[in-house]
Amino acid sequence: MSWLNEFDDRLAALDAQALRRRRRAVVPEQGARLNVDGESLLAFCSNDYLGLAQDPLLRQAVHAAVDRYGVGSGASPMVSGHSVANAALERELAEAVGLPRALYFYAGYATNASIVPALVGEGDALFSDALNHACLIDGARLSKATVHRYPHGNLARLDALLTASPARRKLVISDAVFSMDGDVADITGLHALCERHDALLLLDDAHGFGVLGPQGRGALAAAGLTGPGASPRVLYMATLGKALGVAGAFVAGPESLVEWLLQKTRSYTYATAAPALLAEAVRAGLRCVLGAEGERRRQHLAALIEQLREGLAPGADAAVDAAGWTLMPSDTAIQPLVIGDNEAALAVMATLREQGIWVPAIRPPTVPVGTARLRIALSAAHQSADVAALVGVLRAAAAGLGQHRVAAAALEA
Ligand SMILES: *Cc1c(COP(=O)(O)O)cnc(C)c1O
């Protein structure tokens, strides 16, 4: 039998483990609501942390850009795809993050998967946090460098691995905000280790740029390693499809390192440039992020995070505690509620869905086995009443589980 006939069985195996993923076609509504198959759902799914994806100022920027530049970029940035809009965005991004130079990419995945192999190769050494995003892991694999994985956030272990490595070129790669846990890397500690071992640090701040640091300038700025304090051994990468509300990514850092990436990154050279209309949307988003409106939205988001944590943190609700659900320690907009079992996580997601609330269940292999979770993502587009509704429905679901357990125990007795 041809192996091509095995895919149905392999899909059935995914079903058996509750691991088959399904998409939903959505239409955005007011605030953080999404329309799914005619049903209006209050969504806690989006990485649009500042609510910019639907913002009128960004829409206007896109309309004007379409009139001026048309739709597509037509070619790689190395040929004729590098619009004056893209060039202006690169200067503004570098200025925003306080680093000498930035390079603008059409997507974050392609950036990391491709800049890592441009920096290190066979015979070099890579040091990677165990919870890094898939695109950093794929970049590490593509590079053919020797990969040393260290336990999440364990800098003592990283120090030991760096000490033991005979490689001359060492690259440490880490998410700045971990995408499924919401915690922030110890950037100062990572940087100090890189100094001690003559290593380069690549930080992926997909979830921090726009929300963390002064004026939302990101996690590296929050750590004081930008501007006058910019380090020659840090490359900063961030995406533009999350807090910036659009799509794309950039990498920023020392002039010669960024110039090297421009020369050697295959996903940059061999891909059609991001259209100017997206660059103009990001420029409008960036003006908002750095201005008073950005500050107002970050403050609103911080208040929502606090409200959710007060409602669900350990000790806040007996039924949630009894269910064994734990809200992970996170100060960011990513607030994961660990349920544990894959099917249990899907069941809680379904219960919320019946109440008109959409929170995605995240299962392995995206997260470690046994830590299936609801990844609650908050946004400045949410209202306080939205968070109250979510907390209320989750508490009721946990209480329902408790009654179920009491009934089952009574039956057994
Ligand atoms: C979303 C994400 C990416 C990928 O960026 P895209 O622009 O969506 O391709 C990279 N790294 C991290 C940590 C992310 O969360």
Whether 316 maps to a domain, the answer reads: yes
pLDDT single digits (tens) 13-25 = 999 988 888 899 9
pLDDT single digits (tens) 300-353 = 999 999 999 999 988 999 999 999 999 999 999 999 999 999 999 999 999 999
Q: Cα of 181 to ligand 1 centre, how many Å?
A: 14
Residue from 82, 170, 191, 207 carrying the catalytic annotation: 207
Residue showing tokens 């609801």? 374
- Host H or E run for residue 344: helix 342-354
Q: 25 with 39: CB under 8 angstroms?
A: no
Whether 10 maps to a domain, the answer reads: no
Average pLDDT, the chain: 96
pLDDT single digits (tens) 227-265 = 998 999 999 999 999 999 999 999 999 999 999 999 999
Q: Cα of 208 to ligand 1 centre, how many Å?
A: 11
pLDDT single digits (tens) 120-171 = 999 999 999 999 999 999 999 999 999 999 999 999 999 999 999 999 999 9
Number of other CB atoms surrounding residue 215 within 10 Å: 15
Per-residue pLDDT averaged across 40-44, rounded?
Answer: 97
Q: Cα of 309 to ligand 1 centre, how many Å?
A: 25
Annotation says 207 is catalytic: yes
Annotation says 144 is catalytic: no
Q: Is 82 annotated as a binding residue?
A: no
Report the distance separating Cα 339 and Cα 348, nearest Å. 9
Q: How far is CA 237 from the centre of its chain?
A: 12
| Three-class secondary structure of residue 84 per DSSP | helix
Q: Cα of 241 to ligand 1 centre, how many Å?
A: 8
Whether 11 maps to a domain, the answer reads: no
Q: Does residue 263 sit in the same domain as residue 303?
A: no
Helices (H), ranges, 21-107: 56-69, 84-97
Q: Whose CA is nearest to atom 1 of ligand 1?
A: 206
Q: Does residue 308 sit in the same domain as residue 378?
A: yes
Whether 111 maps to a domain, the answer reads: yes
Q: Does residue 265 sit in the same domain as residue 356?
A: no
Domain boundary among 265, 290, 315: 290
Percent of the chain residues topping a pLDDT of 90: 92
Q: Is 366 annotated as a binding residue?
A: yes
Q: Does residue 165 sit in the same domain as residue 284?
A: yes
Any idea what DSSP says for residue 22?
Answer: -
Q: Are strands 249-253 and 234-239 parallel, antiparallel or unpaired?
A: antiparallel
Whether 6 maps to a domain, the answer reads: no
- Host H or E run for residue 326: strand 326-327
pLDDT single digits (tens) 359-405 = 999 998 889 999 999 999 999 999 999 999 999 999 999 998 877 77
Residue 208 main-chain phi, psi, to 5 deg? -110, -35
Domain boundary among 290, 320, 353: 290
Residue range of the domain that includes 401? 20-49+294-412
Per-residue pLDDT averaged across 68-90, rounded?
Answer: 98
Report the CATH number at residue 252.
3.40.640.10
Whether 9 maps to a domain, the answer reads: no
Number of other CB atoms surrounding residue 151 within 10 Å: 12
Distances (CA, A) of 209 to 49, 131, 300: 10, 19, 17
**Number of folded domains that form the chain:** 2
- Host H or E run for residue 362: strand 361-362
Q: Whose CA is nearest to atom 2 of ligand 1?
A: 206
Contacts 24+ apart (CB under 8 A), 28-31: 28/53, 28/54, 31/381, 31/382, 31/383, 31/386
- Host H or E run for residue 83: none
Q: Are strands 234-239 and 199-204 parallel, antiparallel or unpaired?
A: parallel
Q: Is 104 annotated as a binding residue?
A: no
Q: Does residue 63 sit in the same domain as residue 207?
A: yes
Burial class (CB in 10 A: 0-12, 13-18, 19+), 377: buried
Q: Whose CA is nearest to atom 14 of ligand 1?
A: 206
Q: Does residue 357 sit in the same domain as residue 371?
A: yes
Number of other CB atoms surrounding residue 75 within 10 Å: 12
Report the distance separating Cα 41 and Cα 47, nearest Å. 16
Residue from 148, 191, 242, 300 carrying the catalytic annotation: 242
Q: Please say if the pLDDT value at position 408 is more than 80.
A: no
Q: Please say if the pLDDT value at position 407 is more than 80.
A: no
Report the distance separating Cα 27 and Cα 34, nearest Å. 6
The closest-lying atom of ligand 1 relative to the alpha carbon of residue 109 is: 9
Which pLDDT score, from 0 to 100, does residue 6 have? Answer: 96
N-term to C-term CA, the chain: 53
Q: Does residue 301 sit in the same domain as residue 277?
A: no
Among 49, 106, 109, the mutation site with the greatest number of ligand 1 atoms within 8 A of its Cβ is 109
Domain boundary among 290, 309, 337: 290
Q: Is 109 annotated as a binding residue?
A: yes
Q: Whose CA is nearest to atom 8 of ligand 1?
A: 108
- Host H or E run for residue 127: strand 125-129
Whether 32 maps to a domain, the answer reads: yes
The closest-lying atom of ligand 1 relative to the alpha carbon of residue 242 is: 1
Q: Does residue 280 sit in the same domain as residue 370?
A: no
Q: Does residue 269 sit in the same domain as residue 344?
A: no
Residue from 114, 143, 165, 179 carrying the catalytic annotation: 179
Which pLDDT score, from 0 to 100, does residue 411 have? Answer: 74
Whether 12 maps to a domain, the answer reads: no
Report the CATH number at residue 335.
3.90.1150.10
Which pLDDT score, from 0 to 100, does residue 282 have? Answer: 98
Q: Does residue 275 sit in the same domain as residue 372?
A: no
Q: How confident is the model at residue 215 (pLDDT cuts 50, 70, 90)?
A: very high
Which pLDDT score, from 0 to 100, does residue 83 have? Answer: 98
Q: 245 with 285: CB under 8 angstroms?
A: yes
Dihedral of CA atoms 131, 133, 135, 141 in degrees, nearest 10, equals: 0
Q: Does residue 243 sit in the same domain as residue 354?
A: no
Q: Is 163 annotated as a binding residue?
A: no
Report the distance separating Cα 358 and Cα 386, nearest Å. 11
Q: Does residue 107 sit in the same domain as residue 211?
A: yes
Look at residues 53, 48, 97, 55 and name the one whose alpha carbon lies nearest to residue 301: 48
Which pLDDT score, from 0 to 100, does residue 314 have? Answer: 87
Which pLDDT score, from 0 to 100, does residue 131 have? Answer: 95
Omega before 365 within 30 of 0, i.e. cis: yes
